[in-house]
Amino acid sequence: MKGRKLLVDLCCAVVCTFVGASAFAQSETEFTKANQEYAEGHFKEAIDRYEALVRSGQWSANLFYDFGNAYFRTGDFGRAILNYERALTLERHHPEAAANLQIARDEARALEMQPSWSERYLQLASINQYSIAAAAAFWVAIFCIASLVFARRRSAAAIAFSTFSLLMAALSILAIYQLDTGSKGRALAIVTGKEVQARLATADTANSVLALPPGSEIKILSIRGDWIYAALPNNLRGWILAKDTEQVRL
């Protein structure tokens, strides 16, 4: 009885592995086809194929980079910038995406959020790197403290090292919080609509706060129905129609 169950489990695992591998191979084919469409100048078709790949969840920095290029070619700088931003979110050091993002921003005259001074310093590493650093420092500190507890003699060096490790863990957690909630954090969104105006109230007739060219960065603060309240470049705040923006992190 037990042997039969083990056999069923093994079969399931094999099937799952096979299905996963075949899905990846299929998406790989789709990606190649999308690139071919792009190379032949069929940008609309390429966009459709990239879009399908994004919907399937097979995300990679290169996929978003290529997707951004396709939008750039069609003159949709807002979505091009959005996809370059996504590529850079997945891979901080993606030189091609960074270069094309700069060009697209210049073309669109997109406005950027000004990061705070703390964000500028903390951008030395990514949130994932800070997460690893925080975990490592935390465990080192805990092991140091444990050894101090069990030791017959408590050395000053061990106490200093555990304090330092705890401090590093705390700083790393603070950095994660700052980056995650900062101007380039999880609430970052890109204006994809054209002739978008941030307004003082949730009405099309309300006074305009700022005209936002496509590709401009905003930080979503809250959502009310079809409208989002966002922090804007130049330390402004205003209401924008939700359909005119897309969040960078999927």
Query: Which residues contribute to the site for another protein (CB under 8 A)?
Result: 24, 28, 31-32, 35, 38-39, 57-63, 65-66, 69, 72, 86, 89-91, 93, 95-96, 98-106, 109, 111-112, 114-115, 127-128, 131-132, 134-135, 139, 142-143, 146-147, 150, 176, 180, 186, 195, 197, 207-213, 233-234, 236, 249-250
- Name the minimum Å distance from CB 66 to another protein: 5
Alpha carbon distance 53, 37 (integer Å): 14
- Alpha-carbon separation of residue 215 from 20, 43, 150, 161 (angstroms): 35, 19, 58, 47
Q: In terms of CB distance, is 11 or 135 closer to another protein?
A: 135
Question: Quick one: CA torsion of 210, 109, 97, 33, rounded to 10 degrees?
Answer: 100
Closest CA to 28 of 55, 58, 72, 8: 58
Q: In terms of CB distance, is 176 or 228 closer to another protein?
A: 176
Q: In terms of CB distance, is 120 or 243 closer to another protein?
A: 120
Number of DSSP helices (H) and strands (E) in the chain, helices first: 8, 7
Yes or no: say if 218 and 194 are a contact pair by the CB < 8 Å rule: no
Alpha carbon distance 203, 239 (integer Å): 9
Long-range CB contacts (< 8 A, 24+ apart) of 14-18?
none
- Name the minimum Å distance from CB 7 to another protein: 27
Q: In terms of CB distance, is 159 or 211 closer to another protein?
A: 211
Q: In terms of CB distance, is 127 or 230 closer to another protein?
A: 127
Question: Quick one: CA torsion of 55, 41, 37, 80, rounded to 10 degrees?
Answer: -20
- Name the minimum Å distance from CB 168 to another protein: 15
Alpha carbon distance 71, 7 (integer Å): 49
Q: In terms of CB distance, is 3 or 95 closer to another protein?
A: 95
- Name the minimum Å distance from CB 157 to another protein: 19
- Name the minimum Å distance from CB 224 to another protein: 22
- Name the minimum Å distance from CB 29 to another protein: 11
